[in-house]
Structure 1
Amino acid sequence: MNRHLLPDEIDLLLDGEAGFGVAPLKAHVRQCPECAAEVEAARFVVAELEALPHLAPSPLFAERVMAQVQVFEPWHVALLDTLRRFVPQSRPARVLAGAGAVSVASVLTVALLWLGARLDVLTMLGGTALERAQGAARGILGDAVASALGDPAVGLLGSGTGVALIATTFILAVIIAAAGLRRVAAAGRNRQ
């Protein structure tokens, strides 16, 4: 053998294993003083470990350790545990709760099917709600503009050309601000 023994090979010799690969290891130990010293040092450590008293932990040791360990609980397990707390323990109560759940599910299903069949009603209700929300938003925006800029600005905002004028002014202000910031940054780099 052209190399020294590896730790797992030393363990094979210490365990007293008998097998195909042990004979060459024993022959190497007889020829190599370094490996023989390693095996003897390992035998000494094993003997000292065996001489130590064998202690057993207290009966509640595992419970105290596990009480401090945070165990990962998958979401589906936590959900099932939560749902089980709401399920009644007695059979008659479970039957009653199941019948109530089936009743509620049936009523909701029928209501959704009816609404699905009346899609035109849903569209009308949605359109009405959207119009009311837009009207409320216009009123709030108009009040804010009137208090900040005056009543003529509200009239300008209400016309189509006023909205285009405001949008154009906003876009120009953003472009001018970006160009100004770019010049300030360039001037700062030039000073360095």
Structure 2
Amino acid sequence: MIDRHLRPDEIELLLDGEEGFGVAQLRAHAASCSECQNEMARAQELMFALDTLPDFAPSPAFADRVMSQVQVFEPWHVAATRAVEQLVPATRPARIAAGLGAAVVAGFATAGATWAVARADMGLLLAQLGLERFREQMVAAGSDVMTTVVGQPGLEALSGSSPEVLALALGGFVAVAGMGVVGIRALATSSRTR
């Protein structure tokens, strides 16, 4: 016989009419313990009340409403497949035409890539010419900016000076510009607080 009160799972075993090892001891304890008999009576009333409840079914649109609010993860390969499927024409003649068009484009791309690889020296020459032109444009733009900032006499004086003097002049310009920005911000914040 058991010298403790029955646990809820043991009461459930007895109410379900289960048979097996140790169930006889549980029944013997329940027959002799008034507190466990009361617990079994309450559990039996609860089971009866639950059994008499009507069965409810959700509305047909319930699943659609719930799923519209659920964020479903879609793997990249599924999204890519879906995107490609949207590009594929629906009819067989249109698919054949699209396939032929893709084959022609692929052929021209292959021919162009082969020509470019065979003429790599020409591509290198064009790239060098483009870079040289870009460098010339940047030097001209920098010269125009410096002429605007320091004037033509200042630019002529700087062009004949050493790199140390150029670095010092550039540092001074940055310092003056920084102080100007700080001064303008201070004026802007003081005008807002008034």
Q: Name the structure 1 match of 2:59.
A: 58
Give a deviation string over 1:82-139, Cα, whole Å, max 9, x none: 2211110011110110111111111111211211122111211111111111111112
The reply to whether residue 151 of structure 1 matches residue 143 of structure 2 is: no
Q: CA deviation at 1:60?
A: 2.5
Q: Say if 1:34 and 1:94 are closer, same or farther in 2 by CA, change over 3 A.
A: farther
Unaligned runs of 5+ in 1: 175-192
Q: Tell me by how many angstroms 1:42 deviates.
A: 4.2
Go from structure 1 to structure 2 and tell me whether the alpha carbon gap of 1:133 and 1:59 turns closer, same or farther (over 3 Å shift): same
Change (3 A) 1:147 1:171: closer
User: Residue 75 of structure 2 aligns with which residue?
Assistant: 74
Which AA in structure 2 matches 1:69? Answer: V
Q: Which moved more, 1:80-89 or 1:9-18?
A: 9-18
Tell me what 2:85 maps to: 84
- Quote the residue 1:180 is aligned against: none
Q: Output aligned runs, 1:61-140, within 5 Å.
A: 61-140=62-141
Q: Offset of 1:27 from its aligned partner?
A: 6.0
In terms of Rg, which structure is larger?
A: 2
> Considering only aligned residues, what root-mean-square deviation do their CA atoms show, in Å?
3.6
Question: How many pairs does the alignment contain?
Answer: 174
Amino acid at match of 1:48: A
Offset at 1:68?
2.9
Q: For 1:47 and 1:14, locate their aligned partners in 2 and report how far apart those are by CA, in whole Å.
A: 11
Aligned equivalents of 1:17 and 1:8: distance in 2?
Answer: 12
Deviations along 1:151-177, whole A, 9 cap, x unmatched?
A: 245446657934x54346667989xxx
Q: Are residues 60 and 119 of structure 1, via their aligned partners in 2, closer, same or farther at CA, if it must alter by over 3 Å?
A: same
**Which residue does the alignment assign to 1:184?**
none
TM-score in terms of structure 1 length: 0.68
TM-score normalised over the length of structure 2: 0.67
2-side partners of 1:105 and 1:39: how far apart?
Answer: 80
Counterpart residue number, 1:47: 48
Q: Which residue of 2 aligns with 1:166?
A: 166
Query: How far apart, in 2, do the equivalents of 1:3 and 1:154 lie?
Result: 102
Q: Distance in 1 between matches of 2:100 and 2:162?
A: 62
Q: Deviations over 1:24-79 (max 9, x none)?
A: 66566667777666555544433322221111122232223223323222222122
Q: Aligned letter for 1:128? A: L
- Give the Cα separation in 1 of the matches to 2:35 and 2:166: 90
Q: Distance in 2 between matches of 1:140 and 1:80?
A: 49
The residue matched to 2:162 in structure 1 has which SS?
A: helix
